[in-house]
């Protein structure tokens, strides 16, 4: 274990962090050795997504969602490469690339675009281990009392899963819709001109946001904001609705949705499998071998301050909820971090936005392992059936004289 006192910036407190110049605000690069010493799992997580994104680019065209962050909800640790005022991770953009690309695998079910979009459920399967383990290892922190993210699952807001489901679904739907309208086909095996494909990706990115918001307005906001229903219930409700839509559509499958005799998967499917092994393998390894109590996050976090100051949070239907304006270091409920690694366990002073936090031990490592293993098994079964027992991946006949591609 590295002595935290040897880390650059350890224990420093800054009330208002200032950037060196415009370039430093736009792109900030840290010393990889420093990142690895402070948070080795953060370093590995970032680079795993860089590698996976690179492999996906090699394997074929990649749909790139317009990734964004909600700075009023969370703060990222000081990773290797950050931009937009240290509020956006390069690795997060790669994570959205990976999730967006892997959600194309439900095309193997051969639904039309109105039924295919709920198959974006696979994005949630990709996101769950990332969310759970990244929070536990303080790769980022969630704001303590925001009512929109108050309901948690292993310290991950249920809203995060809802967000990935809603926006992944909206993006998948929009991409198929615009490709059909602009290129005349949503066939994955047919590539149109670069200009048209770029326009389709851009429009899909733009439509993903309003499409996701609509799914919040019609279900989450009425149930949670108006009637005070737990976010877990809202999330499970939309998951079950989308699952039933996919299941019902698959009761009457098209002939092309099933693997035909003599068909063989395209070589690029192996890249998807390799990426899934890297992704799930990393977060399972973190659960089995990782020591979150030895991780130290130095950087921008929720501003500390008085415990009694409140801020209004306005809902989509005009309601007003309350949250604490600042992080109250004497009374906060985020048990995945504390200040035990600081000299004497001294808490951070009020009014600070740049400071050091310390990871905490697993309360029950076996429980975390069981959750990640469960997700890995479910994901393996689903991706196996999508990639090797369904059609509409890039396929070709075994006969040399008749190469056929199906979308």
Per DSSP, the residues of 49-72 read HHHHHHHHHHHS----------TT
Unique residue bearing structure tokens 């317009």: 66
Mean pLDDT of 362-371: 98
**Lowest model confidence (mean pLDDT) among 32-41, 101-110, 156-165, 167-176:** 101-110
Quick one: pLDDT at residue 401?
42
If 0-12 CB within 10 Å is exposed, 13-18 middle and 19+ buried, where does residue 169 land?
Answer: buried
Does residue 404 lie in a domain region? no
- How far apart CA 136 and CA 361 sit, in angstroms, is 9
| 54-68, 137-151, 359-373, 376-390, range with the lowest pLDDT | 54-68
Phi and psi, residue 66, nearest 5°: -80, 90
- Do the domain assignments include residue 158? yes
The helix or strand, by DSSP H or E, that contains position 203, with its residue range, turns out to be: helix 194-215
- Residue 402 included in any domain: no
Q: How close are the terminal C-alpha atoms of the chain, in Å? A: 51
Average pLDDT over residues 61-80: 45
- Is residue 297 assigned to a domain? yes
Which has more confidence, 167 or 79? Answer: 167
- For residue 187, name the pLDDT band (cuts at 50, 70, 90): low
Burial of 341 (0-12, 13-18, 19+ CB in 10 A): buried
**368 located within any domain:** yes
Q: What is the pLDDT of residue 186?
A: 66
φ/ψ region of 392 (left if φ > 0, alpha if ψ in -120 to 50, else beta) reads: left
Instruction: Answer yes or no: is 406 within a domain.
Output: no
* Average of per-residue pLDDT across 215-242: 93
* pLDDT level of residue 18 (50, 70, 90 thresholds): confident
Q: Domain for residue 407, yes or no?
A: no
Residue 18 CB partners (closer than 8 Å, separation 6+):
none
CA gap 103, 91 in Å, rounded: 18
Cα gap 103→340, rounded to integer Å: 41
**How high does pLDDT run on average in the chain?**
80
H-helix or E-strand spanning residue 74: strand 74-76
Taking the model in full, what pTM does it have? 0.85
- Name the domain count of the chain: 1
Q: What is the span of the domain harbouring residue 88?
A: 4-397
With respect to residue 261, please indicate whether it lies within any of the assigned structural domains.
yes
Strand pairing report for 296-300 and 88-89? unpaired
In whole angstroms, what is the distance from residue 30 CA to residue 44 CA? 14
Q: Span 100-116, mean pLDDT?
A: 55
Q: How far is it, in rounded angstroms, from Cα 27 to Cα 29?
A: 7
In angstroms, the CA 257 to CA 111 distance is 8
Q: pLDDT at position 402, please?
A: 44
| CA–CA distances in Å: residue 75 to residues 141, 144, 264 | 5, 11, 45
């Amino acid at each position: 274990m590295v002595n935290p006192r040897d880390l650059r910036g350890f224990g420093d407190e800054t009330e208002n962090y200032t950037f060196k110049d415009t370039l430093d605000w736009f792109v900030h690069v840290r010393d990889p050795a420093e990142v690895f010493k402070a948070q080795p799992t953060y370093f590995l997580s970032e680079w795993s997504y860089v590698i996976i994104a690179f492999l996906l680019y090699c394997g074929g065209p990649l749909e790139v969602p317009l990734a964004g962050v909600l700075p009023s909800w969370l703060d990222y640790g000081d990773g290797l490469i950050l931009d937009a005022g240290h509020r956006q991770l390069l690795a997060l953009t790669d994570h959205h690339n990976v999730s967006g690309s892997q959600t194309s695998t439900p095309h193997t079910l051969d639904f039309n675009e109105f039924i295919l979009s709920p198959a974006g459920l696979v994005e949630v399967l990709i996101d769950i281990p990332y969310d759970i383990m990244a929070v536990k290892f303080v790769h980022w922190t969630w704001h303590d009392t925001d009512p929109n993210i108050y309901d948690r699952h292993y310290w991950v807001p249920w809203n995060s899963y809802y967000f990935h489901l809603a926006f992944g679904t909206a993006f998948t739907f929009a991409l198929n819709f615009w490709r059909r309208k602009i290129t005349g086909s949503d066939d994955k095996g047919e590539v149109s001109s670069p200009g048209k494909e770029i326009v389709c990706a851009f429009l899909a990115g733009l439509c993903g946001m309003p499409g996701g918001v609509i799914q919040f307005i019609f279900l989450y906001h009425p149930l949670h904001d108006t009637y005070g229903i737990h976010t877990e219930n809202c999330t499970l409700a939309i998951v079950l609705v989308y699952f039933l839509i996919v299941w019902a559509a698959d009761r009457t499958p098209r002939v092309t949705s099933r693997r035909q005799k003599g068909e063989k998967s395209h070589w690029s499917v192996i890249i998807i499998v390799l990426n899934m092994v890297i992704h799930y393998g990393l977060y399972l390894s973190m659960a089995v071998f990782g020591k979150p109590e030895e991780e130290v996050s130095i950087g921008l976090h929720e501003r500390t301050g008085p415990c009694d100051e409140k801020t209004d949070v306005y809902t989509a239907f005009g309601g007003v909820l309350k949250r604490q304006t600042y992080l109250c270091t004497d009374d906060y409920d985020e048990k995945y971090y504390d200040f035990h690694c600081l000299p004497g366990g001294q808490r951070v002073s009020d009014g600070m936005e740049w400071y050091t936090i310390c990871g905490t031990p697993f309360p029950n490592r076996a429980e975390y392992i069981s959750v990640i293993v469960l997700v890995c098994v479910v994901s393996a079964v689903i991706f196996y059936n999508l990639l090797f027992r369904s059609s509409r991946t890039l396929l070709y006949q075994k006969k040399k004289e008749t190469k056929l591609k199906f979308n």
